[in-house]
Amino acid sequence: MKTIFVVDDNIVNLAAAKKILADNGYRTFTLHSVDKMFALFSKVTPDLILLDIEMPEMDGFAAIEKLKADEHTANIPVMFLTASTEPKAEAKSLEAGAVDFVLKPFSASDLIKRIERII
């Protein structure tokens, strides 16, 4: 069973993603902060990280930079899930090392198809 971390400070988004992923057979960990994600790496290595860009303590761009700088997490694919309206957010995400970029609110079928393509 493939494992996915969903990192978002919005509990509604976490619940929606968890349901979609569980309904499609993924083991899912929902985390409301980047700090929680980094703490969980000592116990679990995910096959994919769904990461929000706009979060309070550390944004997604800082988080992916930290992930890519660590040899233990550098190869974990990261997909940004965001409501960002910044015009260049998608290009910036891909340049930072994300494998995909999905705008919220997302459709279940689109999200699953993108995940299947990645893992």
Domain extent at residue 69: 3-118
Instruction: Give the tokens for residue 16.
Output: 């929606």
The overall average pLDDT reported for the chain is: 95
Task: Report d(CA 78, CA 101) in Å as an integer.
Answer: 9
> Which pLDDT belongs to residue 84?
80
Number of domains in the chain: 1
Could you tell me the pTM of the whole model? Answer: 0.96
Question: pLDDT (tens digit, 9 = 90+) per residue, 31-52?
Answer: 999 999 999 999 999 999 999 9
Instruction: Find the CATH number of the domain harbouring 90.
Output: 3.40.50.2300
Confirm if 37 and 66 have CB atoms less than 8 A apart: no
pLDDT confidence tier of residue 7, bands split at 50, 70 and 90: very high
